[in-house]
């Protein structure tokens, strides 16, 4: 799969090169490229200005996209945090890497991309959110959040034990990463840095400096905010509705903390994130939220008015959390620019999946619908790459590991299921044999948000989903005529051939990726 030109561009890391200061640009190009892989949590394309967001400006993320490429059809294979991280590290679907849901532990003894990169002479570092229920392996440096981690004054796990850092988590993860880049690594060797942010995970706690940033912004309500889920049985049965007090908690999620008010998750907030604030942080926090709390309980909103109020607060806090994220990504870009590293470094920015920002009336992820199945993917590229601008091909998070290996000039083991994205970056025209469809499989039920188990296939135009386990429902969408996936065409007259073709493609993918579900539900 690796052409000679690829080997020429990215020789194996064992090749000796002169130190960067005395080398010509040509010598610099003979060293394998560094990789800065930035992954955020629950950050969706709808909240990035480079993807045309009406809600928010993300100037530093836009710098990455403007300095390289924007993938317009990037997706995940299982829209939930832990499994998405396992897919990144292994290049394999969930049923192959064993991490089906957030609760199972990731087997770190299996082959991972950081192990293969280490063997190719790379230094490996992981900072921030790990979320795999097992200790990291094959990393020269790691400092990770326990579980989901906290926004304020967070604990970190290190090989030497736990430590607490004072401050805001997005700043701290960036500080640790920049410190490793400056002081922790051998500057003669190529590296991969996995810079994994907690932001913008629930419950969306902005930096105290950014609390008021979006106060004058009225966020536009999605057209299908009051979706009635007609013809979509599984969508009727979830628990991720912004309107529902059970699903979106006014105390935990929207910070409406008041003595005597007990909600399903109020204690999670008072004993959790709120309890982490030190006295100075709490003073600023309370000064901002108390007037909002007083107004909220005085106004006694009901029905649609309450749902829309909750939407505005959710969007406000999420957007303000992204402000710090974008600024800290700017700090990383500034460091790389200042140290003349842009020509020998690929910067990848993505998230563990997409997220609902009120579409279908929802927050969270999990479903194979576009908002959560898709993920942002932008890359800043050295000038030697031919591709610039939008890449429309179907790509998936199982492709990240083989892409890193190709960048390193290392062989991709045959059991890796993803494919390298390098041909899309190196050539202005995509390879003719690029994939025409993507496979998806979600397992975490019963669990928080109660989204049914399902698998499915997506082509450039259609999507076919099968919900199974305690339900037997099919959904078919024409993404060209129905981009918001409101009209289930499954079983409707005129769609028999399309359905048959998609089922054939789905079966082919289940066989190709060796998903045992095909024995249970033969198509």
Class of domain 438-520: alpha beta
Q: Please answer whether residues 379 and 346 qualify as being in contact, where contact means their C-beta atoms are separated by less than 8 angstroms.
A: yes
Quick: pLDDT tens for 329-362.
Answer: 999 999 999 999 999 999 999 999 999 999 999 9
Give the number of other Cβ atoms within 10 Å of residue 368's Cβ: 29
Distance CA 248, CA 245 (A): 5
**Residue 72 carries which DSSP code?**
S
Pull the structure tokens for residue 15.
């090749």
* Three-state secondary-structure class, residue 87: helix
Contacts made by residues 335-341, CB under 8 angstroms, sequence distance 24+: 335/178, 335/181, 335/182, 336/36, 340/20, 341/34
The average confidence (pLDDT) of the chain is 94
What pLDDT score does 30 carry?
A: 64
Distance CA 441, CA 454 (A): 6
* 192 vs 21, more confident: 192
What pLDDT score does 428 carry?
A: 79
Pull the structure tokens for residue 66.
């403007």
Quick: pLDDT tens for 81-133.
Answer: 999 999 999 999 999 999 999 999 999 999 999 999 999 999 999 999 999 98
* Three-state secondary-structure class, residue 47: helix
Quick: pLDDT tens for 397-442.
Answer: 999 999 999 999 999 999 999 999 999 999 878 899 999 999 999 9
Residue in the block written with tokens 């929802």: 362
Global pTM? 0.94
Pull the structure tokens for residue 502.
């998609």
The CATH fold assigned to 4-11+39-203+317-426 is Alkaline Phosphatase, subunit A (3.40.720)
Region of residue 91 (phi > 0: left; psi between -120 and 50: alpha; otherwise: beta)? left
DSSP lists the bridge partners of residue 141 as: 125
What pLDDT score does 386 carry?
A: 87
What pLDDT score does 155 carry?
A: 98
Angle between helical axes of 303-338 and 169-179 (0-180°, round to 10): 20
Quick: pLDDT tens for 30-60.
Answer: 679 999 999 999 999 999 999 999 999 999 9
What pLDDT score does 29 carry?
A: 53
Domain ranges of the chain: 4-11+39-203+317-426, 438-520
Distance CA 125, CA 181 (A): 10
């Amino acid at each position: 799969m690796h052409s000679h030109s690829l080997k020429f561009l990215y020789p194996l890391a064992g090749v000796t090169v002169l130190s960067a200061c005395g080398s010509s640009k040509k010598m610099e190009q003979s060293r394998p490229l560094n990789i800065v892989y930035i992954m955020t949590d629950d950050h969706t394309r709808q909240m990035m200005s480079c993807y045309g967001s009406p809600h928010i400006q993300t100037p530093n993320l836009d710098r990455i996209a403007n300095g390289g490429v924007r993938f317009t059809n990037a997706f995940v294979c299982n829209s939930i945090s832990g499994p998405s991280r396992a897919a990144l590290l292994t290049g394999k679907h969930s049923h192959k890497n064993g991490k089906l849901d957030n609760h199972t532990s990731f087997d770190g003894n299996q082959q991972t991309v950081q192990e293969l990169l280490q063997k190719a002479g790379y230094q490996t570092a992981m900072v921030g959110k790990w979320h795999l229920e097992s200790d990291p392996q094959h990393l020269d440096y790691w400092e990770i959040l326990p579980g989901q981690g906290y926004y304020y004054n967070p604990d970190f796990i290190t090989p030497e034990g736990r430590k607490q850092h004072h401050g805001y988590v997005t700043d701290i993860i960036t500080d640790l990463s920049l410190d490793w880049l400056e002081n922790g690594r051998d500057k003669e060797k190529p590296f991969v840095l996995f810079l994994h942010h907690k932001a913008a995970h629930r419950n969306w706690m902005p930096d105290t400096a950014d609390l008021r940033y979006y106060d004058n912004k009225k966020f536009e309500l999605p057209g299908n905010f009051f979706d009635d889920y007609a013809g979509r049985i599984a969508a009727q049965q979830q628990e991720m509705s912004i309107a529902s007090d059970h699903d979106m908690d006014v105390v935990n999620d929207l910070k409406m903390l008041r003595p005597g008010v007990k909600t399903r998750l109020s204690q999670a907030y008072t004993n959790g994130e709120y309890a982490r604030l030190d006295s100075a942080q709490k003073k600023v926090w309370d000064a901002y939220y108390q007037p909002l709390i007083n107004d909220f309980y005085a106004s006694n909103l009901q029905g649609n008015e309450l749902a829309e109020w909750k939407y505005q607060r959710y969007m406000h806090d999420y957007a303000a959390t992204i402000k710090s994220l974008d600024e800290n990504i700017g700090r990383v870009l500034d460091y790389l620019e200042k140290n003349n590293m842009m020509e020998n470094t690929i910067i990848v920015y993505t998230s563990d999946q997409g997220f609902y920002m009120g579409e279908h009336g929802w927050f969270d992820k999990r479903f194979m619908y576009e908002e959560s199945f898709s993920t942002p993917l932008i890359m800043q590229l050295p000038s030697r790459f031919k591709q610039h601008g939008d890449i429309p091909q179907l790509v998936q998070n199982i492709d990240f590991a083989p892409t890193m290996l190709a960048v390193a000039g290392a062989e991709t083991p045959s059991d890796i299921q993803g494919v390298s994205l390098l041909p899309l970056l190196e050539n202005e025209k995509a390879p003719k044999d690029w994939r025409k469809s993507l496979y998806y499989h979600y397992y975490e039920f019963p669990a928080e948000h109660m989204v049914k188990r399902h698998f499915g296939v997506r082509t450039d135009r259609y999507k076919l989903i099968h919900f199974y386990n305690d339900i037997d429902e099919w959904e078919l969408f024409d993404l060209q005529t129905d981009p918001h996936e409101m009209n289930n065409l499954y079983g409707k007259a005129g769609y028999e051939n399309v359905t048959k073709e998609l089922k054939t493609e789905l079966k082919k993918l289940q066989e190709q990726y060796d998903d045992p579900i095909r024995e249970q539900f033969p198509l």
